[in-house]
Amino acid sequence: MIDQKVLLIDDDAGLLHLAGLLFKKAGAHIFTARDGLEGISKLFTCNPDLIILDVMMPGTNGFEVCQRIRQVSNAQIIMLTALNHEQEMLRGLASGADDFLSKPFNADVLLARAKTVLRRSASGGAQNSNFQFNNGHLSIDIERRHVLVEEKRVKLTPIEFRLLVYLARNAGKVLTFDHILVNVWGNEYRGSMDYVHVYVSHLRNKIEENVKDPRYILTVHGVGYIFER
């Protein structure tokens, strides 16, 4: 993380101090803010590569801050969540977050996640070979990074796109939660099944005609998912 700029937004002074030390040791330049409005102000002055953003803050909460950041910046955002993790992940995903971490968290895990999202951003999240899928209703073009439903462009986040392409490339195969996590997110996410549940739910809302009776992404209970052509 040498010379990467990291903006920490949290009302917890102790967390700001410890996280600041963690990222400084990794070689990053650190900027801090004690609330959402200060964080948005710092965004314009420091132009960070990565933002660590707490959900629960006085005044403007993390979801609102995330939405406002996304209007002007493509910086990677890791949201720090507490209670009701899956619901907060869904809200954070809708707000534009790139990753989520539950409080309390391990410092090594935070640093590993930060490095992963920055590496993923630097590579553009691109898969290494061309892939196309088109059955008349759903169209996926990896080279152009286009997804169409009924010939209308669907906006996907980089992770949603990676997930959809991975599932579609392996159509007809039962993919376990860990296989999906390792291939879409990375080894350090192994065991984080809530990631898969939340992102699949969000992806279904964007590509399925009926999310309660999905046509493409089917659940294999207790195991994982299968993509049906």
Architecture of domain 132-227 in CATH?
Orthogonal Bundle (1.10)
Q: What is the per-residue pLDDT across 114-172, written as a single tens digit (0 to 9) for each?
A: 999 998 877 665 555 677 899 989 999 888 888 999 999 998 888 889 899 999 999 99
Work out the average pLDDT over 33-40.
94
Any bridge partners for residue 224, and if so which?
Answer: 176, 220
**Which residues of the chain are in CATH 3.40.50.2300 domains?**
5-122
Longest C-alpha distance within the chain, in Å? 54
Total count of residues recorded for the chain:
229
**Which residues of the chain are in CATH 1.10.10.10 domains?**
132-227
What pTM was computed for the model? Answer: 0.80
Quote the CA–CA distance of 102 and 179 in Å, as a whole number. Answer: 22
Determine the angle formed by the axes of helices 85-95 and 193-207, rounding to 10 degrees: 50
Judged by phi (left if over 0) then psi (alpha if -120 to 50, else beta), residue 47 lies in left
Q: What is the per-residue pLDDT across 171-220, written as a single tens digit (0 to 9) for each?
A: 999 999 999 999 998 888 888 888 899 899 989 999 999 999 999 999 99
For 5-122, CATH number?
3.40.50.2300
